[in-house]
């Protein structure tokens, strides 16, 4: 698993992080807002995971106000085009965790 660095990562590095999430090599958390949007829009977790595995970056990696790295990915799966907003959070090493690093699905949009 690649380390999340404090310097700006390359687009290739961002795609590597996303593929690690989609393949289960990096921890993934769905925000409450993302889960609510998924429920309202009838979007399943499998659709989101397929978007993370196969999607293309539709909004480049950038730092947000919380000093975390974020990007959007888009993919066409199960008859719908999805856009998934992903935030990469850095944290301290936790018990049984992967160095405290995780990816958060911030929102999911159809279209």
Q: Which domains does the chain have, with CATH numbers?
A: 26-110 (3.30.2310)
* Mean pLDDT computed over 53-63: 89
* Mean pLDDT computed over 37-44: 93
Q: What pLDDT, on the 0 to 100 scale, is given for residue 100? A: 55
Q: What pLDDT, on the 0 to 100 scale, is given for residue 90? A: 65
Q: What are 69's two structure tokens?
A: 């790295």
User: Which residue has better confidence, 65 or 90?
Assistant: 65
Q: What are 92's two structure tokens?
A: 């301290």
Q: What pLDDT, on the 0 to 100 scale, is given for residue 93? A: 43
């Amino acid at each position: 698993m690649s380390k999340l660095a404090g310097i700006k990562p390359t687009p290739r590095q961002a795609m590597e992080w996303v593929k690690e999430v989609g393949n289960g090599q990096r921890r993934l958390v769905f925000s409450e807002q993302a889960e609510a949007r998924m429920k309202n829009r009838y979007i399943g977790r499998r659709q989101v995971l397929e978007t993370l595995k196969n999607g293309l970056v539709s909004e480049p990696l950038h730092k947000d106000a919380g000093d975390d790295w974020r990007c959007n990915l888009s993919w066409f799966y199960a008859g719908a085009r999805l856009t998934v907003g992903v935030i990469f959070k850095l944290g301290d090493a936790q018990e049984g965790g992967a160095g405290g690093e995780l990816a958060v699905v911030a929102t999911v949009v159809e279209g």
